[in-house]
Amino acid sequence: MSAPLTNADARRRGSGGLGLGWFPVEAGLPDVEVGQLRHARLDADPAHRWLRGTVADALH
């Protein structure tokens, strides 16, 4: 199994004592712009605020 991670994520997560390793991908990948859209009624919903914050933190 493999999972693509940024260098920062790979360093932060480490192997977790599982004996896993990571290696750089020798391929030029384009930057990807990611945005979030939602209906205005969801702005104040605590669960949606948490999810938006979690996704934003994971992508930055």
In a domain, 11, yes or no: yes
Considering the domain boundaries, does residue 15 fall inside one? yes
Backbone angles phi and psi of 58, in degrees to 5:
-70, -30
What is the spatial distance between Cα 26 and Cα 14, in angstroms, rounded to a whole number?
20
pLDDT of residue 15: 59
pTM (2 d.p.): 0.46
The residue segments making up the domain with residue 53 are: 7-27+36-59
How big is the chain by its Cα radius of gyration, in Å?
16
CB-count exposure of residue 35 (10 Å: 0-12, 13-18, 19+): exposed
Residue 1, domain member (yes or no) = no
Q: How far apart, in whole angstroms, are the C-alpha atoms of residue 35 and residue 60?
A: 12
* In a domain? residue 13: yes
Per residue in 3-53, pLDDT tens? 677 777 766 766 566 677 777 777 777 887 878 888 888 888 999 999 989
How much is the pLDDT for 35?
80
Give residue 58's pLDDT.
Answer: 81
Number of domains comprising the chain: 1
Report if residue 52 sits inside a domain: yes
Does residue 2 fall inside a structural domain? Answer: no
